[in-house]
Amino acid sequence: MSEMPRRVDKPWGYELWWARTERYVGKILHLRQGESLSLQYHNVKDETILLQSGRLLFETRAKGEPGELRRIEMKPGDTFHITPGTLHRMTGIEDCDILEVSTPELEDVVRLEDRYGRAGTSKP
């Protein structure tokens, strides 16, 4: 295991990896106001998020569910379990800190839309 915590800069903010084992990963995502993660899903990765601070627009649609993305405004203390195949995107209404715990498949990201030119890739 590499030295923790580890900061990973992203176009929307940064991730602070505070745990990484063969069985789980723990991160804090700092999402800047007005920035968005890609519209994405994971084939295997299973994750749960907890909004620690700020306000967040969470867009989601369950695997195989037809129609538009459901839009949820999250506030501190709100959680969401993101199962494999679930479409999701996060946008900062305010600067946000998001606690994420997941299975360890960090490269399992299928990006459908991305404002930073990363669609279709697993680039950080």
pLDDT tens-digit series, residues 41-63: 999 999 999 999 999 999 999 98
Main-chain phi, psi angles of 72, to 5 degrees: -125, 125
pLDDT of residue 60: 98
C-alpha dihedral sign at 54, 74, 46, 34: negative
**Dist. CA 74–CA 51, nearest whole Å:** 7
pLDDT, the chain, mean = 94
Query: How long is the chain?
Result: 124
pLDDT over 70 for what percent of the chain? Answer: 95
User: What are the residue ranges spanned by the domains of the chain?
Assistant: 6-113
Give the confidence band of 122 by pLDDT, cuts at 50, 70, 90: low
The CATH number assigned to the domain with range 6-113 reads 2.60.120.10
